[in-house]
Amino acid sequence: MARVEGRYGLVYTTGKPESATRFDELVSAYLGFGRDIGDRLKALLADDPDMPLAYVAKGYFLKLFGSAAMSARALKALGDADARFTAAATTERERLHLEALRAWCSDDLDRTTDLWERILLDNPKDAFALRLAHFNHFYAGESRRMRDSVARVLPDWSEADPDIGFVHGMYGFALEESGDYAKGERYGRMAVERNPADAWSVHAVAHVMEMQGRHAEGIAWVRRHEPDWSATNNFRFHLYWHRALYHLERHEFVEVLAIYDDYVSSDIAADMYLDVCNAASLLWRLEMYGADVGDRWKGLTEVSLRHVEDHDLIFVALHYLMALLKGGEPEAAARLAAQLEGFANSAATQGRVSARVGVGTATAMTALARGDAGAAVDALLPIRYDIVCMGGSHAQRDLFQEMLVSAAVQARPLLARALLAERTAAKPASAWSWRHYATALRAEGQGKAADAAEKRAEALLQIP
């Protein structure tokens, strides 16, 4: 085994010099949501079956599926990696990657991310470690850490680096999630200008427009770049989800359902958790907005039944629960909720998340499914400011705030009025929020204010 220098001066332990280049290309494909990531990795392992870091990469990719079945396979990959590391004189960077996979397989996501950040101190151009840390900061709800993680390495990157656009896109998204919309949009647009197929960067700008209520502009932005980002893997469906959200805010339900049918749910059978999250959250929102979704929960329910015992990511498990509750599987839903409660007693990183917000959110959704709005309010209200810890984006987590508002309008009008005063201040372009505000105000006897809120909603829906 030799040490071969690849892109950006990163050193690989390998039996074949060309494997360093192939590994670098694998990382670039991962950054760009390439459809051939699995094929690239298989080919690399077939051609260089003793390359230590390739087995770590295999374990990483398996963990990224976020399911119990794939986590079991990741443990096997960890064992294979251990054997290769024992047989070769590897670098410190490679050994830290191995320990990061070991921590991830042990459900210690805090240590996992700390190890990637340690790698980046000495190797700021290790784009694999950077993107994986970005992922884990995101699913920990740590927007500032996500932002600072990229900011620390930016000075070491240059315009001549092939992957610089991906780095700018990561920074743009992290800035948006940290509330710096202007700078986030600037970095996102800069990345898209460099590489129009960079789906993560198109997505970063889409998030800015969502947060600022720029719905028509968001539709145009996503559609303009569709020929490029639609060639990526299943992440492309998340961009269709974003387009659907803009239409939903405009109460264009026919368009939303068409996007759902044609794109968002089109590959549900592939069993990718983000597809289920996109679809379940969109259907739940549609029903809260008063739309009839027909039998569309059925396909999601069939997939979710395979994941009753999953808890790799509490955010994802809650979306499986949505499908089970809405798809007529109360026993499976109860088992999943019980799993979350049991997992909350564990020392795993996501166990702590389950204890903090997972159990309460599951309780609230179960109450909503049986029509008990008061119980839903009781479960969600105490944890509303902690929900960030389950990860996901502001746009994704907003569903849980909408659940609280919708339940309060039904069961606690006085509280609803207060919550909607907050919400309309934060999201002044949300017609749904203004309509609910009008309902809450009217229930409190504030007819004049209710009329004004209703007029505000109608005016927003008239905007072309």
Mean pLDDT computed over every residue of the chain: 97
Say yes or no: 102 and 113 in one domain: yes
| Confidence (pLDDT) at 57 | 98
Say yes or no: 96 and 43 in one domain: yes
| Confidence (pLDDT) at 12 | 97
DSSP line for 52-63:
HHHHHHHHHHHH
Confidence of residue 299 (pLDDT cuts 50, 70, 90): very high
Say yes or no: 122 and 150 in one domain: no
| Confidence (pLDDT) at 186 | 98
Say yes or no: 60 and 178 in one domain: no
- Token pair, residue 8, equals 């950006």
Say yes or no: 135 and 147 in one domain: no
Residue 6 maps to which CATH number? 1.25.40
Say yes or no: 63 and 168 in one domain: no
SS3 4: strand
Q: How far apart are the first and last CA of the chain?
A: 63
Give the model confidence (pLDDT) of 261-271 as tens digits. Answer: 999 999 999 99
SS3 189: helix
End-of-domain residue from the set 89, 122, 139: 139
Q: At what angle do helices 199-211 and 394-411 cross, to 10 degrees?
A: 30
Say yes or no: 109 and 148 in one domain: no
Do residues 104 and 116 lie in contact, with contact meaning Cβ atoms separated by under 8 Å?
no
- Token pair, residue 335, equals 């088992």
Mean pLDDT of all residues in 2-25: 96
- Is residue 269 included in any domain, yes or no? no
Say yes or no: 126 and 158 in one domain: no
Residue 198 maps to which CATH number? 1.25.40.10
Give the model confidence (pLDDT) of 349-368 as tens digits. Answer: 999 999 999 999 999 999 99
End-of-domain residue from the set 206, 233, 260: 233
Q: Is the pLDDT of residue 1 over 90?
A: no
pTM: 0.96
| Confidence (pLDDT) at 71 | 95
Residue 452 lies in domain: 412-461
Classify each residue of 260-292 as buried b or exposed e, where b means 16 or more C-beta atoms within 10 Å of its C-beta.
beebbbbebeebbbbbbbbbbbbbbbbebbebe
Would you give the DSSP letter of residue 359? Answer: H
- Is residue 299 included in any domain, yes or no? no
- Pairing between strand 2-5 and 11-14? antiparallel
Say yes or no: 6 and 130 in one domain: yes
CA dist 302 and 297 (Å) reads 9
Say yes or no: 7 and 124 in one domain: yes
Mean pLDDT of all residues in 59-64: 97
Chain-centroid distance, C-alpha 174: 12
Give the model confidence (pLDDT) of 96-135 as tens digits. Answer: 999 999 999 999 999 999 999 999 999 999 999 999 999 9
End-of-domain residue from the set 91, 123, 139: 139
Q: Is the pLDDT of residue 463 over 90?
A: no
Report the amino acid identity of residue 232: T
The total of structural domains in the chain comes to: 3
Confidence of residue 464 (pLDDT cuts 50, 70, 90): confident
- Is residue 302 included in any domain, yes or no? no
SS3 13: strand
